[in-house]
């Protein structure tokens, strides 16, 4: 496989091929996912839950994210996946200058793109970063760093007013230079509208229905390793397969074919 670039990812979208993304936090799983053909890996701040056993992403620090990014980068030597790292809570909220310094730490660790949560005030920061050569993935809908303000992990954009705000934020972020956008936990129709509003934006859904340009899941969720009750948008890809690599290959195939996510079983409707 040729190493994926922003240009290469755009070419996938332009020819109607879905983009596959998974989280990765260490070298072994990064290597495995790359070998299995995953297009994009995300060093998500979900590492707070998955790796550290925290109850939210809020305690995750920039230094910890840099450490996991370095681990993943070593697993990707000679590989092809495009690497995104999350800007953790309180590493960019002060404004563009703080965001640039934090993004620099992640890029110097080997990330090729940084992701930040939220709409509205973030547009200025996205413009600042992208004008300075840092590719940005935005993240709208359920933004876990705001879990306490949102009142829990609930579906976003369910009524006309909040769906309208979400679409406006998505367009502002796209105009500010975001080339990719995670859309988390929203009615399928809202994600579909965001993609239609911004045809060249690479929307990556998680609990956002089948209309996005790509899909992302937390690796440990889709491997059936996470204990406790999982959201309905998660599918266990290990069941029916005899290795983690086979499970990840099945995920890539299901995303590419459009078989995952199911428009009913893994998706949400408006209220």
What amino acid positions are annotated as catalytic residues? 184
Q: x/- binding map, residues 156-185, to ligand KIV, per CB under 6 A? A: --------------------------x---
**145: partner contacted, choices Na ion, ligand KIV, none (Cβ within 5-8 A by kind):** none
As a dihedral over the C-alpha atoms of residue 82, residue 235, residue 14, residue 246, rounded to 10 degrees, the angle is: 60
Q: Which residues contact 73 (CB under 8 A, 6 or more apart)?
A: 30, 83, 109, 110, 111
Helices (H), 113-271: 122-131, 147-150, 160-175, 188-197, 219-222, 244-257
In angstroms, rounded to a whole number, what is the distance separating the alpha carbons of residues 36 and 30?
Answer: 10
Q: Nearer Cβ to ligand KIV, position 123 or 138?
A: 138
Reduced to 3 states, what is the DSSP secondary structure of residue 128? helix
Q: x/- binding map, residues 206-245, to ligand KIV, per CB under 6 A? A: x---------x-x---------------------------
| Range in contact with ligand KIV (rule: CB under 6 A) among 8-16, 29-37, 41-49, 105-113 | 41-49
Site for Na ion in 24-63 (CB under 5 A): 44-45
Question: Would you count residue 23 as binding ligand KIV (CB under 6 A)?
Answer: yes
| 8 Å CB contact between 192 and 198 | no
Q: x/- binding map, residues 61-100, to ligand KIV, per CB under 6 A? A: -------------------------x--------------
- Interacting residues with ligand KIV (CB under 6 A): 23, 42, 44-46, 86, 182, 206, 216, 218
């Amino acid at each position: 496989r040729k190493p994926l670039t922003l240009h290469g990812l755009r070419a996938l979208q332009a020819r109607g091929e879905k983009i596959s993304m998974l989280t990765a936090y260490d070298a072994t799983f990064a290597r495995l996912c790359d070998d299995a053909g995953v297009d994009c890996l995300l060093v998500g701040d979900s590492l707070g839950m998955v790796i550290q056993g925290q109850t939210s992403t809020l305690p995750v620090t920039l230094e910890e994210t840099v450490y996991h990014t370095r681990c993943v980068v070593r697993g990707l030597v000679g590989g092809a996946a495009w690497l995104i790292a999350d800007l953790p809570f309180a590493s960019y909220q002060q404004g563009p200058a703080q965001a640039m310094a934090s993004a620099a730490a992640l890029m110097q660790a080997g990330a090729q793109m940084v992701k930040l949560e939220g709409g509205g005030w973030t547009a200025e920061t996205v413009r600042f970063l992208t004008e300075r050569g840092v590719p940005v993935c935005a993240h709208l809908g359920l933004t876990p760093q705001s879990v306490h303000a949102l009142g829990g992990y609930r579906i976003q954009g369910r009524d006309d007013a909040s769906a309208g705000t979400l679409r406006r934020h998505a367009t502002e972020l796209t105009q500010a230079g975001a080339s990719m956008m995670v859309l988390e936990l929203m009615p399928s129709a809202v994600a579909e509208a965001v993609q239609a509003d911004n045809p060249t934006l690479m929307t990556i859904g998680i609990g956002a229905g089948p209309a996005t340009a790509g899909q992302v899941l937390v690796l440990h969720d889709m491997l059936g390793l996470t204990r406790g009750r999982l959201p309905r948008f998660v599918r266990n890809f290990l069941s029916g397969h005899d290795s983690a690599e086979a499970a990840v290959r099945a995920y890539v195939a299901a995303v590419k074919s459009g078989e995952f996510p199911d428009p009913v079983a893994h998706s949400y409707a408006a209220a």
